Amino acid sequence: MNTDTQYLHEVAESDYEHGWSTDIDADTIPKGLNEDVIRLISSKKQDPYWMLESRLRAFRHWQTLLADSEKYPRWAHINYPQIDFQEISYYSAPGNKPKYESLDEVDPELIKTFEALGIPLEEQKVLAGVAVDAVIDSVSVATTFKEELAKHGIIFCSFTEAIENHGDLVQKYMGSVVPYTDNFYAALNSAVFSDGSFCYIPAGVRCPMELSTYFRINEAGTGQFERTLIIAEEGSYVSYLEGCTAPRRDENQLHAAVVEIIAHKDAEVKYSTIQNWYPGNEDGKGGVYNFVTKRGICEGQGSKISWTQLETGSAITWKYPSVILKGDHSIGEFYSVAFTKGRQQADTGTKMLHLGRNTSSTIISKGISADRSNNSYRGLVRINKGASNARNFTQCDSMLLGDRCGAHTFPYLEIHNPTAQVEHEATTSKVGEDQMFYCQQRGISEQDAIKLLVSGFCQDILTQLPMEFAVEARKLLAIELEGSVG
Amino acid sequence: MDHRVEDRFLAAYERFQSLNGTATPLLSLSQNAIERFVKKGFPKRKNESWKYTNITPVINRTYQIVDPVDATVKGLDGLDAHQAVFVNGRFAPALSKLDSLPKGVMVESLCDVSDNDLIQSHLGSYANYEDEPFTALNTAFLKDGAVIQVSSDTKLDQPVHIINRIISGEPAIVQPRIFIYADNRSSLQVVHSKEYTDSISALTNSVIEIYVGQEGQVDFLDLQIGTPQTSQVTNLSVYQQSDSKFQSDVFTFGGEIVRNNLSIHADAEHCESILNGLFMARDRTHIDNNTFVDHAKPNCFSSEYYKGILDDHAVGVFHGQVLVREDAQLINAYQTNRSVLLTDTARMFSKPALEIYADDVKCSHGATTGQLDKDGLFYLRSRGISEENARQLMLTSFAGDIIEKSPVKALHEMLYNEVERMLR
């Protein structure tokens, strides 16, 4: 299948579409990390005292992890050189420091960047009815639709503002799902995070619009340490969108975010992600290291958390959006499409921890690998002793587009209760020749046929995405797939 | 008492070798193995493949290396076989029945053939003592074992039954070793079982190496009947040549800690590997089945089917791994693990993993854990069958799936009886 491989090469060699960088003055602190840097970040953020305390506690813990090389997480099926944590600058904020009231005040360069990405703020504001909290590097520069949300009592703001105005909520919930002791990168994030998003939905409120944040990593050599906290009170509902693209850079950029979700009784949180950061060139040079800890807790009875993700970018993805099903009758869902090409490596999956009775979880993961990439699904389903009548269904399918890539599945099933029903299924295959033949025989070009088949392979997941995202997701997948074949 | 437990084994090794331990032709192999063992040490739970099994309490006990004594063996009901008996690891010709072996088949004691070319070039080359400390320990204490050699184009009509008889008044460690060489186009069935003295406390650490030549076929049935005082570690390594077939059936009924490492290296095209297992446990039994299928060459087929029934506080572990190497195209690999938990306190850990580097393959795995189907139970009860009997019936048929797959038909009845005994 020579033409197929030829297509593959074309895709592999095609340049990263969103690879440019915006010229805005940024307030960046020198490289390196020590207690003084933590204090500096803290003072730049005008943290209250408790926040500084919490950063230092996390930093001291992180240092003990760093000192003991055995504590550095190496278990994932990924390969990369040791990261020099002193070679990274831990804070970068766009210049023109003051907070913006309206978009007009935003640096025009920024607006241009968004427009190049195909997400004009203005248009989206009007047409899509999406409140956009745009995060460039580490400081929120624009928050829209705030007033509309405020009417419902919804708080949607940058993490910095939340610390300033809703300190009690932040203090109560931050670290309650992902404590700083959780893992190496959670500890690092807890120490140096600069900003992120905060979202609070009061009891009984159905958020009238989809909340959305666009992340972009923008300063060379800058780590992006985001922190997101979503709290859904009893009976509330929110759909949260996170989408990312980053300009092309030669250096590896480290991204270690933490996302925490708390869903109280009967609340529902839907969290959708499109991740399209710079994956590095075809030799594996450059690209973003994406080490993320995402976890939600279904705290109350009947609550539901749903993660949907489309992962196409980053040189390395290390990410396991998880759900702790604590409340009885709570529901956890994980829908994922991970596409790797070039020399990308992804080790991604989920954890479903069933603690409450009659809890159920669904995991559907689709991995597609091309070129010399490696794509692993790693997932844990644990049914605790008290979780009677728990139900889990897991399906993870892999597709290989090429004979030098790898697709791996590492499921862990830990069952401590006899009434549990746990099912796991996985398949690995390539695009069926008969399917290809059928399409081509109907006059569909080889390239279109592959797009069609892969899009069908991912259909289950893409339909889970909210409308606004689904369109973007399909477009992105099509660009990524351009010509790929197995 | 601060010594590493490995040091105790090292001291025992030196004592063992000073008393005419390993035969001279195998001495350098044994020395390499002990070096490797001391370096690696016993596996800890930090080790991914020992994540769910804590072997330390079993290792920390003091065991005696026991000498052979006079004994009798029972054999297995219904099985007519060529019988090779080992008492505490040493060949017992008086108890063995090897007179009617056909021409071209040799069943011997390792002691007698240790300088044989075949042994010199093959023993220890399939069972990996570099990375597997239990294999290293067994190889270090090499003394006796069963050697089965089948010449090309020879087919056995009766199975070979290897019995390891373990007798000791005090806690004993016995390390059986089996080496099977099935030359091109040969075929044979081997049954391996252990017989313990009542109420003995023992650890057996078996290493089994099997070479299957071109178009050869080997069926290996391992029967592991244990008591709460007996622990078993078994490393079975298989090397397959082109167009060969290998089938393993592992039946585990009880024990304290049972760990099976089964590794298949399909190093040529058109190999077929079938791995079936049934494990039943109650009380505090812990059974861990670890399988690794390495598809190094294209056009091969492998299928794994493991089923477990766990009662009381028992723990089951299934850790299956299929590796398809680059360019090993057209592989079909299947993995299935089904388990039933009968109580609130039984636990099951399942990790069916796939690692695939070739694109034109069909690989799938499935795992389910749950309890008995309520509709099925209801149906049987509505037909006037008591709940207890209905449960028994359903579990027997659940286990029967694996028994029926075993090619050693003569043992089916005995295996069903064993299942019933476990369910009682």
Task: Indicate the residue of A403, A411, A427 with minimum beta-carbon distance to B363.
Answer: A427
What's the Cα-to-Cα distance from B353 to each of A401, A416, A425, B50, B125, rounded to whole Å? 20, 20, 11, 15, 26
pLDDT > 70: percent of chain A: 77
Least confident range of A29-33, A439-443, B128-132, B364-368: A29-33
Beta carbon pairs, A and B, within 8 Å: 120
Q: Which two tokens stand for residue A213?
A: 């944040």
For the purposes of burial, counting CB atoms within 10 Å of the CB of B72, is it exposed (0-12), middle (13-18) or buried (19 or more)? exposed
Average pLDDT of chain A is: 78
Chain B residue with minimal CA distance to A414? B349
Contacts of A398 in chain B (CB under 8 A): 354, 356
CA distance to partner chain A, nearest, from residue B415 (Å): 25
pLDDT of residue A170: 92
Task: Indicate the residue of B343, B359, B368 with minimum beta-carbon distance to A423.
Answer: B368
3-state secondary structure of B98: coil
Contact B364 A407 (CB under 8 A): no
Contacts of B395 in chain A (CB under 8 A): none
pLDDT of residue A12: 45
Asked if the structure places residue A205 within a domain, the reply is yes
Task: Considering only the C-alpha atoms of chain B, give the largest distance between any 2 of them, rounded to a whole number of Å.
Answer: 69
Residue A469, beta-bridge partner list = none
Mutual angle of helices A184-192 and A35-44, in 10-degree steps: 50
Task: Indicate the residue of A403, A421, A425 with minimum beta-carbon distance to B366.
Answer: A425
Give the H or E element holding residue B139.
helix B133-140
pLDDT of residue A222: 47
Query: B128 phi and psi, to 5 degrees?
Result: -80, 105
Rounded to an integer, what distance in angstroms lies between the CA atom of residue A349 and that of residue A317?
10
Contact B351 A426 (CB under 8 A): no
Chain B residue with minimal CA distance to A75? B48
Q: What is the pLDDT of residues A178-196, one digit of tens each?
A: 998 888 999 999 998 888 8
Q: What is the pLDDT of residues A190-231, one digit of tens each?
A: 998 888 888 999 999 998 877 876 544 444 444 578 889 999
Q: Which two tokens stand for residue A60?
A: 């001291």
Contact A422 B368 (CB under 8 A): yes
Query: B175 phi and psi, to 5 degrees?
Result: -125, 80
Rounded to an integer, what distance in angstroms lies between the CA atom of residue B253 and that of residue B227?
9
A446, A484 in Cβ contact below 8 A?
A: no
B238, B212 in Cβ contact below 8 A?
A: yes
Task: Classify residue B103 by its DSSP letter.
Answer: T
Q: Which two tokens stand for residue A26?
A: 């940024």
Asked if the structure places residue A43 within a domain, the reply is yes
The per-type count for chain B, helices as H runs and strands as E runs, is: 9, 21
Contact A400 B367 (CB under 8 A): no
Identify which has the larger pLDDT, A151 or B383.
B383
A25-34, A121-130, A250-259, B43-52: which is most confident: B43-52
Contacts of B358 in chain A (CB under 8 A): 400, 403
Asked if the structure places residue A95 within a domain, the reply is yes
Q: How many domains does chain A have?
A: 1
Interchain CB contact of B373 with A (< 8 Å): no
CA distance to partner chain B, nearest, from residue A360 (Å): 14
Query: A76 phi and psi, to 5 degrees?
Result: -70, 160
The Cβ of residue A73 has, within 10 Å, a number of other Cβ atoms equal to 11
pLDDT bracket for residue B188 (50, 70, 90): very high
Rounded to an integer, what distance in angstroms lies between the CA atom of residue A308 and that of residue B165?
57
Contacts of A418 in chain B (CB under 8 A): 340-344, 346, 370-371
Give the H or E element holding residue B228.
none
For the purposes of burial, counting CB atoms within 10 Å of the CB of A434, is it exposed (0-12), middle (13-18) or buried (19 or more)? exposed
Contact B353 A408 (CB under 8 A): yes
Q: Tell me: pLDDT of A129 over 50.
A: no
Give the H or E element holding residue B41.
none
Interchain CB contact of A406 with B (< 8 Å): yes
Contact B353 A428 (CB under 8 A): no
Q: Which two tokens stand for residue A12?
A: 């592999």
B259, B286 in Cβ contact below 8 A?
A: no
Using only C-alpha atoms, chain A has a radius of gyration, in whole angstroms, of: 22
Interchain CB contact of A183 with B (< 8 Å): no
| Interval B381-389 mean pLDDT | 92
CA distance to partner chain B, nearest, from residue A427 (Å): 4
Interface test with B, best of A72, A414, A425 (most B CBs within 10 A): A414
Contacts of B365 in chain A (CB under 8 A): 409, 411, 424-426
For the purposes of burial, counting CB atoms within 10 Å of the CB of B380, is it exposed (0-12), middle (13-18) or buried (19 or more)? middle
Contact A424 B351 (CB under 8 A): no
Query: A448 phi and psi, to 5 degrees?
Result: -65, -35
Task: Classify residue B26 by its DSSP letter.
Answer: G
Interchain CB contact of A393 with B (< 8 Å): no
Interface test with A, best of B356, B363, B371 (most A CBs within 10 A): B356
Task: Indicate the residue of A402, A420, A429 with minimum beta-carbon distance to B370.
Answer: A420
A314, A339 in Cβ contact below 8 A?
A: no
Task: Tell me the Ramachandran region of residue B161: left when phi exceeds 0, alpha when psi lies from -120 to 50, beta otherwise.
Answer: beta
Rounded to an integer, what distance in angstroms lies between the CA atom of residue A409 and that of residue B142?
38
Q: Which two tokens stand for residue A32?
A: 């390196």
Contacts of A425 in chain B (CB under 8 A): 364-366
Q: What is the dihedral of CA B44, B47, B52, B57, to 10 degrees?
A: -10
Contact A408 B348 (CB under 8 A): no
pLDDT of residue A61: 92
Chain A residue with minimal CA distance to B367? A424
Contacts of A416 in chain B (CB under 8 A): 347
Asked if the structure places residue A182 within a domain, the reply is yes
Rounded to an integer, what distance in angstroms lies between the CA atom of residue A84 and that of residue A79?
15
Interchain CB contact of A401 with B (< 8 Å): yes
State the residue for tokens 């590095």.
Answer: A280
Least confident range of A348-357, B15-24, B167-176: B15-24
pLDDT of residue B258: 95
Interchain CB contact of B417 with A (< 8 Å): no
Q: Tell me: pLDDT of B130 over 70.
A: yes
Chain B residue with minimal CA distance to A372? B357
pLDDT bracket for residue A251 (50, 70, 90): low
What's the Cα-to-Cα distance from B192 to each of B139, B223, B418, rounded to whole Å? 19, 6, 16
Q: What count of Cα atoms within 13 Å lies in the side-chain half-sphere of residue A354?
A: 32
Q: Which two tokens stand for residue B30?
A: 């044994």
Interchain CB contact of A42 with B (< 8 Å): no
Task: Indicate the residue of A75, A409, A430 with minimum beta-carbon distance to B48.
Answer: A75
CA distance to partner chain B, nearest, from residue A347 (Å): 12
3-state SS record for chain A? CHHHHHHHHHHHHCCCCCCCCCCCCEEECCCCCCHHHHHHHHHHCCCCHHHHHHHHHHHHHHHHHHHCHHHCCCCCCCCCCCCCHHHCECCEEECCCCCCCCHHHCCHHHHHHHHHCCCCHHHHHHHHCCEEEEEECCEEEEECCHHHHHHCCCEEEEHHHHHHHCHHHHHHHCCCCCCCCCCHHHHHHHHHCCEEEEEEECCCCECCCCEEEEEECCCCCECECEEEEEEECCCCEEEEEEEEECCCCCCEEEECCEEEEEECCCCEEEEEEEEECCCCCCCCCCEEEEEEEEEEEECCCCCEEEEEEEECCCCEEEECCEEEECCCCCEEEEEEEEEECCCCEEEECCEEEECCCCCEEEEEEEEEEECCCEEEEEEEEEECCCCCCCEEEEEEEEEEECCCCEEEEEEEEEECCCCCEEEEEEEEEECCHHHHHHHHHCCCCHHHHHHHHHHHHHHHHHCCCCHHHHHHHHHHHHHHHCCCCC
Task: Indicate the residue of A404, A417, A426 with minimum beta-carbon distance to B364.
Answer: A426
pLDDT of residue A217: 47
pLDDT of residue A310: 86
Q: Tell me: pLDDT of B44 over 90.
A: no
- Which residue range is the domain that position A450 belongs to? 2-481
Asked if the structure places residue A486 within a domain, the reply is no
CA distance to partner chain A, nearest, from residue B44 (Å): 14
Query: pTM score, two decimals?
Result: 0.83
Rounded to an integer, what distance in angstroms lies between the CA atom of residue B360 and that of residue B346?
40
Contact B360 A430 (CB under 8 A): yes
pLDDT bracket for residue B399 (50, 70, 90): very high
B318, B352 in Cβ contact below 8 A?
A: yes
pLDDT of residue B402: 94
Contact B364 A405 (CB under 8 A): no
DSSP B77-92: TT---EEEEEETTEE-
Q: Tell me: pLDDT of B164 over 50.
A: yes
Interchain CB contact of A286 with B (< 8 Å): no
Q: Tell me: pLDDT of A259 over 90.
A: yes
Rounded to an integer, what distance in angstroms lies between the CA atom of residue A11 and that of residue A282?
10
Query: A223 phi and psi, to 5 degrees?
Result: -80, 145
A135, A158 in Cβ contact below 8 A?
A: yes
Task: Indicate the residue of A410, A417, A430 with minimum beta-carbon distance to B344.
Answer: A417
Query: B341 phi and psi, to 5 degrees?
Result: -100, 130
Q: Which two tokens stand for residue B244?
A: 């060969």
Rounded to an integer, what distance in angstroms lies between the CA atom of residue A399 and that of residue B360?
10
Q: Which two tokens stand for residue A282?
A: 């075809």
Average pLDDT of chain B is: 90
Q: CA triplet A441, A442, A445: central angle to 5 degrees?
A: 80
Interchain CB contact of A380 with B (< 8 Å): no
Chain B residue with minimal CA distance to A402? B359
Task: Indicate the residue of A409, A413, A419 with minimum beta-carbon distance to B371.
Answer: A419
Contacts of B356 in chain A (CB under 8 A): 398, 400, 406-408, 428
Interchain CB contact of A454 with B (< 8 Å): no
What's the Cα-to-Cα distance from B415 to each of A158, B176, B289, B422, rounded to whole Å? 66, 23, 19, 11
| Interval B174-182 mean pLDDT | 93
pLDDT of residue A99: 41
Interface test with A, best of B293, B354, B395 (most A CBs within 10 A): B354
Q: What is the pLDDT of residues B244-269, one digit of tens each?
A: 999 999 999 999 999 999 999 999 99
Q: Which two tokens stand for residue B62?
A: 């003091």
